[in-house]
Amino acid sequence: MTTFNNKPFIFGILFTFIIAAISLISSKLPLLDKVGALTIAIVIAILFRHFKGYPESYRPGITFASKRLLKFAIILYGLKLNIFDVIGEGSTLLLIDGGVIIVSIGLMLLLNHYIKGDKAITLLLGIGTGVCGAAAIAAVSPILKSREKDTAISIGIVALIGTLFSLAYTIIYTLFTISPAVYGVWSGVSLHEIAHVILAADFSGDTALRIGLLGKLGRVFLLIPLSIVLILVMNMKSHAKNTNQRIEMPYFLIGFVLMAIFHTYVLIPQFIMQIIEPLTTICLLMAMVALGLNVSFKDLQDRAFKPLIGVIIVSTILSTITFIIANSIYG
C-alpha cells in the first residue's frame, strides 16, 4: 500500500515530475518541438538508468507514477472525446478507423511470424499504431499483463516513429497537391498519436486539423470495444489453461468511458479544460519517466530492433492504403 508521507515516495514523485517538466519545456525548443515531450521523457529516463542506475531510494514514488498516475491520465484522456461527434459527423471516418486498427494489429502479428520479433512488444506496437499511441498501449498493458519495460519500449518506439512519419507527411504535403480535406483525413486515420496528427494536419490549416482530429478521436473511441475484445480473449485463454484468472474491465478504462460520456453531454467551461489538459499531459509524462527507468540499453538491443522494423513497415503500408482511401472518398 502506498504511503504518502514518507520521503522515498515524495522524492520519487518529485524525481519523475522534474524530468517530466524538463521534457515538456524541452519540447517547446526548436527541433525538439518536432520530437515531442513523450519521446524526450522516455529517452532521458533510459539514459539516466544507463549512466546512474535505477534510483532505488525513490522506488515507491516512481512506482506510484508508473501505475496510479498513468491510470489517472488515461481517465482524464476520456475528456478529449465527444461521442456524438465521433459517431455522427465522423461515422465514415469511424469505419476507416476500425479497418486501420484491424489491419495494424493483424499485419504486425503476421509480419512478426516471419521476422521472429518479441511477441509481447509486437502486439503492443500493433495496438499503439492502430489506435492512439502511448495512451492505447498504456490502457491495454494491464489487460495483456505486459511487463513495464515492454510497455515503455513500445511507447518509445511508437512516439519516435510517429514523429518521423508526421514530419514526412508535411514534406509530402509541400511537394504534392493534396486537398486539405484529404490531407486531414489521411493524417487523422493513420498517424500514431494525437500530437502527431496535430503536428502534421496543422501544417495545412484549420480544415485539415479539424477533420484530422475527428478521424483520430474515432480511433480513441474504438479503444473501448478493443479493450472489451482483449478482455474476452484473455479470459478465454485463461479458461483454456484452467488458471481461472479472470480479467475484469480495468477501473481506469471505466473511468475513461465515463469521462467521454460526461464530456458528450456536459459542456465543460474552457478555463477548466485549460487546467485539465496540461494536468493530463504532466501525469502522462511522469508515468513515461517511471516506465522508462525500467528499460536498459540491453533490453533495447535484444528486444526492440525487430519490432521497430515491423512497425516501420506496417506504418508505411497503412499510410499508403489510407491515403488511397482518403483520396478516393474525400478527393
**Residue numbers of the domain that contains 273:** 7-330
If the chain, 331 residues long, is cut into consecutive pieces of 10 residues, what is the mean pLDDT of each piece? 72 96 94 86 92 92 91 90 84 94 97 94 96 91 92 92 93 94 96 91 92 92 93 85 67 89 91 93 93 86 92 97 96 80
207 lies in a domain? yes
Residue 2 in any domain: the answer is: no
| pLDDT at res. 84 | 87
pLDDT at 82: 87
Residue 1 in any domain: the answer is no
Amino acid 74 reads: I
Average pLDDT, the chain: 91
Summarised one tens digit per residue, pLDDT across range 234-259 is 988 877 776 666 666 778 888 998 99
Counting the structural domains of the chain, the total is 1
Does residue 298 fall inside a structural domain?
yes
The answer to the question of residue 29 being in a domain is: yes
Looking at residue 104, its amino acid is S
Q: Is position 250 within any domain? A: yes
pTM comes to 0.87
Domain for residue 153, yes or no? yes
